[in-house]
Every structure is written in structure tokens, then in C-alpha cells.
Structure 1
């Protein structure tokens, strides 16, 4: 239940370490402390439900919501981050929701931004469900199997898993931040808060 809550809140738009929590829970399952099916089920449910709530919040709050969050939490919701996420939606459409599940920064933007840009809910739901199942279920299965096969070498697995997940999460966030700054320099007109207008038309087609 706790893993589902953490991932759900992260998917809703709150910057929490969902990936680290998922890896840690899967390692505990490999040691027989918790059920792998329970971990996968709760993680999948949390991802899908959290993203859906985030979509509803974004649909109702719109761009002013992101502008307000950007002022209060510039490290997570600043103009650079928003511009990068918007370009991902412009490039991939509904599949930005799917691929966003695997990228730390997009994971907290996918649901709210899809709602803000008025992506049709049925498109969002398909990508949301597929992304939640593949990311949460796949990660749980992979870490669980690795933990079972190499259990004798993983007595400190929880720390190794936490470290690996942290490095991956921080690394992906830094890469996206760097790309956001580069893109902002190349497209200064998109940092003024109007870049989402033509994109909204694209997503609602």
C-alpha cells in the first residue's frame, strides 16, 4: 500500500522518489519479506490512478496552475522544465505519457500537463495504463528476478538498488535540465509561457 501511495503521489505531480521506492520494494520481495505480486499490483494501481488524478487537476487548473507551481517550486516546475515537457508532448503526443513514465522529470509532469493541454482522455488513458503496467510491473519483475538469482551476492542489495536508482533518477533529471536550458537558449520565445498554445491544438486533434 505504501509503495502505491508514493508512486501515486509522484504521478499526481508531487516530486517524490517513486523509482527508488519501487526498486526497494522489489528487493524486499526478492528476500521474501513482501509479495512481488502485491508490490507490482500496488505500484501499477498507484501509477494509473495518480496520473489520472493529475490529468483531472491539470484539466481544471490549466496553465495558471503550472505558472503558480513554477513560482513556488522553481527547481521542479520552472519554465525550463515545463518547456522541455511540452516539447516532449509535441514530439510524441499521447506516447509522451507512456515514455514519460520511465523519465524522472516527465513522470511528475505527464498527467497534469496532458490535462492542461487538453489531450483527449481516451488517448491519455491508453498510454497511462500501458506505461503504468510496463514501468511498474516490468521494474518489479526485473529487480525481483535479479534479486532471487543473485541473492547470495546481494546481502546489501537494498543499498545497491537504492544507489543505482538514485543515480539513474538524478542522472536523467540532470540530462533533461541541461536539454531544457539548451532548448530555452535556442528558443527564447518559448520561455514566456505561450509555448503551449499551438501544442494544445495539436493534442486535441
Structure 2
């Protein structure tokens, strides 16, 4: 993880966007750590906090949307063929699809806050056939809440801590 801060210092919020984009559709990258580091750099004055938030929100939304499209157009056959390897029987797949249809909006909205689900959120939603319009809205709101928490939280608490010391 020692490469994150130098990358963000060198390339700014573009590096943050790229890290979060790829993390959001399944690549194992330290997105949350990168966002916290960028927030702390913004508190130090090296980045603009509004840019940090926007880059993180866009990276998360576009990354999850890419994952959704990958899942939608290729994930279902993979789940049917190799699902047994992760104990995903046809009955469990049917149950997962029904759950996504019924509660998919809240699943996508909250998955961003759970480490492994954040990376697989879009892939799963697309693979089980969650309606696109539900996914997009839940994804945008969830990403805004998550990006807001990890952008502005460290930024403001760092400033508050400095004032207390």
C-alpha cells in the first residue's frame, strides 16, 4: 500500500478515480484506503476536497456500472457453469435472483459499505438480472453516501483534531 500516496500526489484525483473505478468492478485494490489518503491530502491542502469527492463518486459509480454490464452480459452463464464451486446451486441462484428483484435496491445501496461486496456489487447485480434503472439509482446514491463519508469524514475530523491540539 506504500504506492498509494505517491500515486495520488503525482497524479492527483485521476489516480484516485482509476483506483476506485477498477476496485468497484472486482479488481482487488485498496480503494477505501486510497480515498482516506486523498482526504488527508486534501486536509493538508494538496488536493481540493470537492475534487476528491467527485473523483471518488464517479469512480465508484462508473466502476460498479461496468461490473453490472459485465455481469449482465457474461456473468449468468459463468454462475450456471461454475456456481457449484462456491456452492451456488440452481436453487440458490433462483433465490438470489428473487432477492435481487425484491430487495436489490437496498442490497446495492448498502453493499458499498462492506468490503468484499463493494468489489462484487455490480457483477452480482448484473448477473442475477437486477433491473438497470433500479441499479443505477441505488448505485449513485450508495456511492454518494460512501464517497461522502470517506471524503469528508477524514477531512473534517483531521481539521477538528488539529484545532484541539
Q: Please indicate, yes or no, whether the TM-score normalized by the shorter chain is above 0.5.
A: yes
Q: TM-score, normalized by length of structure 2? A: 0.77
Residue 146, structure 1, aligned to residue 153, structure 2: no
CA 1:143–1:12 in structure 2 vs 1: closer, same or farther (change >3 Å)? same
How far does residue 109 in structure 1 lie from its aligned partner after superposition?
1.1
Summarize deviations over 1:55-95 as a string: whole Å, max 9, x none.
0000011234457898xxxxxxx7279x8xx5984783221
| Structure 2 unmatched ranges of 5 or more | 1-13
CA 1:66–1:7 in structure 2 vs 1: closer, same or farther (change >3 Å)? farther
Q: TM-score, normalized by length of structure 1? A: 0.63
| 1:120 paired residue among 121, 131, 139 | 131
How far does residue 141 in structure 1 lie from its aligned partner after superposition?
0.8
Partner of 2:55: 42
Residue 131, structure 1, aligned to residue 131, structure 2: no
| 1:96 paired residue among 95, 98, 107 | 107
State the Cα RMSD in Å: 2.8
Once the two structures are superposed, the pairs formed by residues 1-205 of structure 1 within 5 Å of their partners are: 1-65=14-78, 79=86, 86=96, 89=100, 92-151=103-162
Hey, what's the Cα distance between the residues in 2 that align with 1:137 and 1:7? 14
| Structure 1 unmatched ranges of 5 or more | 71-77, 155-205
Hey, what's the Cα distance between the residues in 2 that align with 1:18 and 1:122? 25
Query: Is the 8 Å Cα contact of residues 26 and 120 (structure 2) preserved in structure 1?
Result: yes
Query: Is the 8 Å Cα contact of residues 31 and 147 (structure 1) preserved in structure 2?
Result: no
3-state secondary structure, aligned to 1:23: helix
Query: Is the 8 Å Cα contact of residues 111 and 117 (structure 2) preserved in structure 1?
Result: yes
Q: What is the number of residues matched between the two proteins?
A: 145
